[in-house]
Every structure is written in C-alpha cells, then in structure tokens.
C-alpha cells in the first residue's frame, strides 16, 4: 500500500476564505504510515522506509484501533516552547509523528472523501494527545488571518490552509492545500565547499545552488548553523563526492574551493532572496535525504 503524498502550493500572503480550515505548518520530514495485517511501515515522501529510525512511533501506530490504514503526516522535533525545528534533528532529540490526514481506513480508500470527513476518520483512529510519539495535527479554530497572527505570535514556521471540501490528490501539488510561510526556508544543492579558517575544522562554508535547466545555478555560501558534530558528518559525505570540475554553470570565484558532485541537499533558513538570485544571511539547518537533488530547481525555489 503505497502512494505519493499530496503537496501544498505556496501562497503569496495570508488570507481567509469561507469553507477553509487552517492547520499548524510543521518543520520536519513528511511521513506516510502504513499498517497492513498488523505490520507497520513508515515511508518518507520519496518512498524511503524510515521504520527502523522511529521505533517508538512504529509501536504507537501498531497499537491504534481498527484495521489497515494509511496515515499522512510529518515527523518533527519540538523545541522547549513546542515549536517544530528541523535543525533539532542534528541533536538527536525525540521525534513525534504529527498526523494530518487519513487516506485509508480499515482497508478502504478515503481519497475521494472531502477533507472534513477524512479528518473525522483520522480522529477515530488517532486518539487526542498532548505528548507521546503520535499526535494529531493542530487545527486552529480561527479565520485565516487570525490563524496566521497566532502562528506569528508563537514562532511557527507557518500555517497550512485547506479546502474542507477537497479530495486527497495523490502526487499533486494542489491549490486545495495552500501553505503560508512565516520563516523562510529552502532546500538547496551542495556543489562545493571552502577550506576551514581559524579554529574551525572540516570545511569553512558550503557553496550551494539550484538547477536551472541542466546547470547548477550558484545561489551563495553558508557557513553558519553547524555544530562540531554536523561539520564532521557533512564533511564525511562531501569527501566521497569530490570532483575536479565545478558543477556550477557560472563558477563562483573561490580560490580555496573544493567541488563535489551535486548530490547532497541542504535545508537552509535565510532572510530573503537578493535581486541577483543569492541567499541573504543563510543558516544551515541539516541535510535532507528525502528529496532528490534534481528536484531542487530555480523554477520551483518558492514551492
């Protein structure tokens, strides 16, 4: 029982529409939980089996009532204030599976059901809880503008607006789900790194870009956000990918650069895009292996 998850489209600004609902937007890794015949698997959005990584979540899923199911959600780590933070994955904190959709219940596909009915099905499967490894996503009983203001006040990444009458569109980036971001984050491809300076070891900064056609378009360098542990871990992966030729279409002028095959994807936070297509004040949050490098393109950088 596999399917490609439904994806949200980025909205330009917060809004309110009658018949829509507003959920917390989580900053984690997409997860599709499947139970068949009592056996549970947890898949990433690119169909990597994550079950062994999250034993507590898998055990909690096994104990849920009913029969076979497929649940859609996000595996996240919360900070001390209850805000999901992707960078906390670096520190080995305890993950939580926040479930926001029920696509199959008791072996029956609910994809053609409206969101509101699927939510009722989800609530029948996943008990309400404020702690533990398995929880329901938070739906805000507010209009869209007030929901956005609430998210800003509490430091969330953003909100997801959903048409309560919409069906589940597998594998589609739908306009029935719209995400309104507060924090700017994006996934970029690592094309090289600079030499370390001062007391830092392993490397100085990552040189990152996005595919623009077949060429990698240089978007800037990121040298902050690393711990000693992540420096070592990222460096170990970079050393396996070293090449002689720069992967960028227009090669950035760094005397101390080492080039790598454009295979690794980094999650970055940043202030804004500059007029010439560079990241302003980027910060490294972590590596992602649930998204292919070729999917990180200039055309879809705000998706």
The torsion region of residue 240 among left (phi > 0), alpha (psi -120 to 50) and beta comes to: alpha
Exposed/middle/buried for residue 92 (C-beta within 10 Å: 0-12, 13-18, 19+): exposed
Q: Is the pLDDT of residue 33 over 90?
A: yes
At 92-108, the pLDDT tens digits run: 678 999 999 999 999 99
Q: Is the pLDDT of residue 302 over 70?
A: no
Give pLDDT, residue 37.
92
Question: Could you tell me the residue ranges of all domains in the chain?
Answer: 7-181, 185-295
Please give the Cα distance from 164 to 20 (Å, whole number).
5
CATH topology of domain 7-181: D-amino Acid Aminotransferase; Chain A, domain 1 (3.30.470)
Q: What are the helix (H) ranges across 178-289?
A: 228-239
Helix (H, G, I), strand (E, B) or coil at 259: strand
At 218-251, the pLDDT tens digits run: 999 999 988 888 999 999 999 999 999 999 999 9
Token match 């509101």: residue? Answer: 116
State percent of the chain over pLDDT 90: 75
CATH topology of domain 185-295: OB fold (Dihydrolipoamide Acetyltransferase, E2P) (2.40.50)
Query: Catalytic residue numbers?
Result: 25
At 252-282, the pLDDT tens digits run: 988 899 999 999 999 998 888 888 899 988 9
Mean pLDDT score of the chain: 93
Give pLDDT, residue 88.
86
Residue 301 neighbours by CB under 8 Å, 6+ apart: 186, 210, 273
Q: Do domains 7-181 and 185-295 have the same CATH topology?
A: no
Q: What is the pTM of this model?
A: 0.82
Give pLDDT, residue 303.
58
Q: Is the pLDDT of residue 90 over 90?
A: no
Give the residue among 284, 263, 281 at the shortest CA–CA distance from 272.
281
Residue 220 neighbours by CB under 8 Å, 6+ apart: 207, 208, 278, 279, 282
State percent of the chain over pLDDT 70: 98
Q: Are 72 and 32 in contact (CB under 8 A)?
A: yes
Give the residue among 40, 33, 38 at the shortest CA–CA distance from 5.
33
């Amino acid at each position: 029982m596999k399917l490609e998850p439904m994806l949200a489209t980025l909205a330009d600004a917060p809004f309110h529409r009658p018949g829509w609902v507003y959920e917390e937007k989580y900053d984690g890794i997409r997860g599709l939980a499947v139970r068949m015949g009592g056996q549970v698997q947890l898949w990433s959005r690119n169909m990597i089996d994550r079950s062994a990584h999250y034993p507590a979540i898998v055990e909690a899923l096994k104990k849920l009532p009913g029969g076979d199911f497929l649940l859609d959600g996000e595996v996240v780590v919360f900070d001390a204030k209850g805000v999901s933070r992707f960078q906390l994955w670096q520190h080995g904190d305890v993950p939580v599976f926040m479930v926001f959709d029920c696509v199959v219940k008791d072996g029956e596909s609910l994809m053609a059901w409206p969101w509101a009915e699927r939510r009722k099905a989800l609530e029948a499967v996943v008990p309400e809880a404020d702690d533990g490894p398995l929880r329901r996503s938070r739906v805000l009983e507010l209009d869209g503008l007030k929901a956005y203001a609430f998210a800003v006040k509490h430091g969330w990444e953003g909100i997801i607006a959903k048409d309560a009458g919409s069906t589940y569109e597998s594998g589609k980036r739908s306009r029935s789900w719209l995400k309104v971001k507060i924090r700017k984050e994006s996934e970029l491809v690592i094309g090289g790194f600079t030499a370390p300076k001062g007391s830092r070891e392993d490397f100085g900064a990552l040189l990152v870009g996005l595919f623009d056609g077949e060429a990698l378009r240089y978007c800037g360098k990121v040298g902050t956000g690393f711990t000693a542990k992540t420096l070592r871990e990222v460096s170990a992966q970079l050393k396996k990918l070293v090449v002689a030729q720069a992967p960028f279409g227009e090669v950035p002028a760094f005397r101390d650069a080492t080039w790598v095959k454009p295979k690794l994807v980094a999650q970055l936070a940043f202030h804004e895009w500059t007029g010439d297509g560079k990241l302003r004040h980027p910060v490294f949050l972590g590596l992602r292996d649930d998204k292919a490098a070729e999917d990180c393109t200039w055309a879809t950088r705000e998706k």
